[in-house]
Amino acid sequence: MKGMVSLLTHRSPRPVTVAIMDGIGYREDTLGNAVANACTPNLDWLLANCPYRLLRAHGKAVGLPSDDDMGNSEVGHNALGAGRVYHQGARLVNEAIQSGRLFEGRAWRRLGRYCFEHKGTMHFIGLLSDGDIHSHIKHLEAMLNHLALNDKLPRARVHILLDGRDVSETSALEYVNRLETLLQKLQEQAHVDYRIASGGGRMKITMDRYEADWGMVALGWKTHVAGEGRKFPSAEAAIKTYRQEKPGIIDQDLPPFVIADESGVAAGPIHDGDAVALFNFRGDRAIEISRAFEDEHFPYFERTPCPKVAYAGMMEYDTELHIPHNYLVEPPHIDHTVGECLSIHHKRQMAISETQKYGHVTYFWNGNRSGKIDERLEDYFEIPSDMTPFEERPWMKAAEITDKTVEAILSGRYDLIRLNYPNGDMVGHTGVYQAAEIAVETVDLCLGRLMEAARKAGGVLIVTADHGNAEEMFEIDEKSKTPKLYPDGRIKAKTAHTLNPVWFIVYDPTGDDCIVFDQEIKEPGLTNVAATILQLLGLKPPEIYDPPLLLFREEG
């Protein structure tokens, strides 16, 4: 290919800024598309005037079991930082269950042995859905089956967290009924006492992340461990009651509940001698509850009661801090991340987002590693998120993130700056279409400021995303291609991620490099981004990376 240089450019722009528009994907159809229908003059200009490609951000392209699996922020940022595909949580757990390794492992045997020795109960806590983002109900079912039919443990309790975020917003009863059917079957087959003990919406209890709201974890502890809270005869009764009391409420926001008998005795508090397994495989919303069970000196809330239990997570959620100490499945060991490569070459880096996505541009980007790779070369900034519901503040902290990033671009201090705007994802999950449009417009407004800073600094701006969400805000009937409706005529919102691709746009305001995309790379994905970053910085990517996306036309 005459006149092209495949890897290195004659110039290393400084800085390269990577703006991740979390949850903002590409979809041609405009129905329910808060991205296409929003006012986005800066994004429109970039697409009209800059080279761009669409990247795969779901399924096998990011290490998930199949191409029917939607992308998510964890695997998306792993892929962006790792430069190649790693098998991710769901796939690793599937393989561990199918091979039997999970049940032969030290952690599983430890939990069962602890229960038998102390005549205790096995407790399972986790997100009850088949969303395959944080968990999958089939993993819970496999463990319950093995526990009853193979290990023959007589008593188990399940503490369910309701989804409505990675799956349909009011689908909780489908999963509850499926679980209740299995529990009844096991009771009849194996004569065991297995029941649902407590639950609540995932955005109300237990599943906080990045220490945004320890109160959620404290309320989860009160619900699951102490067995305290509003009592119902069944999970179905609790869900139906809350829906009647607050019409329009979606599953992720349902208040906590405790299952109790007619005399008000809770079905399954956690006591000394019990064992607890957290069956979520994704790390960000599993770390805090794991710390509550494991940390001897725990300062965030008073754990009353604080039973002595054997605890294990589905995976090691933090591979550097080793949280939790015991886990059922080995996580992916991601090395040679782009951050490591840049540190080796003494390149200065900055990472920034607000609390909701701060861990994604640090922990997940760095291959599930807490802390910095090189303290001397890296600066991380966390902008504290508001506690207000996202649909009420769809602009979130985008302006503050942009303020700090513009300052960093103009400082001349950094070679790589990576930032995450959470708006498209966090607001998209609420299902509130109008708020999602505002969220997208907020990000677009901020892109304009980044473009101006890149022009002044002579740097390059990359605009991309980790997965889609806001571009598909309605549940669509496949046959009629019209929105699904509730009985009262309201459009049924889609709150989950999508299977859609994301943009990868390169804005080089100097035009010095005459950047074009390498069309020989078919169906590129997020894993091609790491090599491209190194390429723009004048560094040769490691051979283990998926190839870089760009070519540079030589002058003349």
- Reported as a single tens digit per residue, the pLDDT across 515-548 is 788 888 989 999 999 999 999 999 999 999 999 9
User: Which residue is catalytic, options 73, 290, 353, 385?
Assistant: 73
Instruction: Give the angle 140-144-146 at the CA atoms, nearest 5°.
Output: 115
Helix (H, G, I), strand (E, B) or coil at 412: coil
pLDDT at 197 over 50: yes
How far apart (Å, rounded) are the C-alpha atoms in residues 205 and 157?
Answer: 18
How far apart (Å, rounded) are the C-alpha atoms in residues 423 and 443?
Answer: 7
- pLDDT for 320 equals 66
How far apart (Å, rounded) are the C-alpha atoms in residues 417 and 348?
Answer: 9
Which residue in 397, 533, 420 sits closest to 22, CA to CA? Answer: 420
How far apart (Å, rounded) are the C-alpha atoms in residues 532 and 554?
Answer: 18
Locate tokens 């540190």: which residue?
Answer: 343
Boundaries of every domain in the chain: 4-87+334-553, 90-329
pLDDT tier, 66 (very low <50, low <70, confident <90, very high otherwise): confident
The DSSP string of 223-287 is HHTS--S-EESSHHHHHHHHHHHSTT--GGGPPPEEEB-TT--BS----TT-EEEE----STTTH
pLDDT at 431 over 50: yes
pLDDT at 5 over 50: no
- pLDDT for 432 equals 96
Known catalytic membership, residue 73? yes
Alpha helices in 300-392 (DSSP H): 338-344, 355-359
- pLDDT for 553 equals 58
- pLDDT for 510 equals 83
pLDDT at 85 over 50: yes
Write out the two tokens for 301.
């809330």
Locate tokens 């039973």: which residue?
Answer: 307
pLDDT tier, 122 (very low <50, low <70, confident <90, very high otherwise): very high
- pLDDT for 3 equals 32
Helix (H, G, I), strand (E, B) or coil at 399: helix
Decide yes or no: CATH 2.70.70.10 for domain 90-329.
no
Q: What is the mean pLDDT of the chain?
A: 93
Average pLDDT on 245-265 reads 96
End-to-end CA distance of the chain: 14
Architecture category of domain 4-87+334-553 in CATH: 3-Layer(aba) Sandwich (3.40)
How far apart (Å, rounded) are the C-alpha atoms in residues 540 and 535?
Answer: 6
Q: Which of 320-334, 358-372, 391-405 has the lowest mean pLDDT?
A: 320-334
How far apart (Å, rounded) are the C-alpha atoms in residues 150 and 156?
Answer: 14
Strands (E) across 415-458 are located at 416-421
pLDDT at 469 over 60: yes
pLDDT tier, 159 (very low <50, low <70, confident <90, very high otherwise): very high
